[in-house]
A and B are shown apart, each in its own frame.
Chain A
Amino acid sequence: EIVLTQSPGTLSLSPGERATLSCRTSQSVSSSYLAWYQHKPGQAPRLLIYGASSRATGIPDRFSGSGSGTDFTLTISRLEPEDFAVYYCQLYGSSPPWTFGQGTKVEIK
């Protein structure tokens, strides 16, 4: 089973700053299978990025995804107050299980 490792565990930033979140896989994977989600307390998770770099419907363009092989990145270009949340990467595969990273919390500095 492929393991997803996200870093850092917590990112302390101010509104307006740039956030760079990392997701590393334990072996090379297809970028077509990598998704990112935002999760706030008491709410359902929200799909941000699929196929490593495609924004989901309604997602602002300050969110972008990139990467290939074993290294993937979610970038938030300028943090808005509503962006402070926990972010997860997720890997799909030709057969289950699907796997989530352990999450990166983006908190207000």
Chain B
Amino acid sequence: EVQLVESGGGLVQPGGSLRVSCAASGFTVGFNYMSWVRQAPGKGLEWVSVIYSGGNTYYADSVKGRFTISRDTSKNTLYLQMNSLRPEDTAVYYCARDGGGWEPHYYYGMDVWGQGTTVTVSS
């Protein structure tokens, strides 16, 4: 079964750090684009970061310089390291298999999503 399972969310103080994980099964993380998307309380979906199959990484301006996306191919797991956390980073964080890169000039959407992990930044 194709599946993503996030973990690692929790309560952290402003300025603190947290790493959330996303374990994949049924497909290979390293062969796909993988994205992180978040939803703050009462807000819509916000794309956060992507790692390409080739390893290139990209970030939303709101997290650039503070968050780092990475993967461990031996564990088939995606990570998001979040540093210098702010209250506005409070959100449910979802990982998703991203259908970019499967075919030139075509996008297959984010077709597999995890259940989300909640990050709360508060003193």
A residues contacting B by CB (< 8 A) are: 30, 32-35, 37, 39, 43-47, 49-51, 56-57, 86, 88, 90, 92, 95-103
CB distance from A88 to the nearest CB of B (A): 5
Partner of B113, one of A30, A46, A86, A102: A46
Q: List, in ascending order, chain A residues with CB within 8 A of B67's CB.
A: none
Closest to B57 in A: A96
B residues contacting A by CB (< 8 A) are: 35, 37, 39, 44-47, 50, 58-61, 94, 96, 99-100, 105-111, 113-116
CB distance from B94 to the nearest CB of A (A): 6
> What is the bound-complex CA distance between A61 and B50, given in angstroms?
30
Q: List, in ascending order, chain A residues with CB within 8 A of B113's CB.
A: 44-46
Q: List, in ascending order, chain A residues with CB within 8 A of B58's CB.
A: 95-97
B110 near A51 with CB under 8 A, answer: no
A57 near B105 with CB under 8 A, answer: no
CB distance from A105 to the nearest CB of B (A): 10
A98 near B106 with CB under 8 A, answer: no
Q: Can you list 27 A-B pairs, Cβ within 8 angstroms, ordered by A?
A: A30-B105, A32-B107, A33-B106, A33-B107, A34-B107, A43-B115, A44-B94, A44-B113, A44-B115, A45-B94, A47-B110, A47-B111, A50-B111, A51-B106, A51-B108, A56-B109, A57-B111, A90-B110, A95-B58, A96-B58, A97-B58, A97-B60, A100-B44, A100-B45, A100-B47, A103-B44, A103-B45
**What would 11 more interface pairs be, CB under 8 Å, given A50-B108, A56-B111, A96-B50?**
A32-B105, A33-B107, A35-B107, A35-B110, A44-B113, A45-B37, A45-B110, A51-B107, A88-B45, A96-B59, A97-B61
> What is the bound-complex CA distance between A102 and B46, given in angstroms?
9
Partner of B45, one of A34, A39, A56, A97: A39
B35 near A102 with CB under 8 A, answer: no
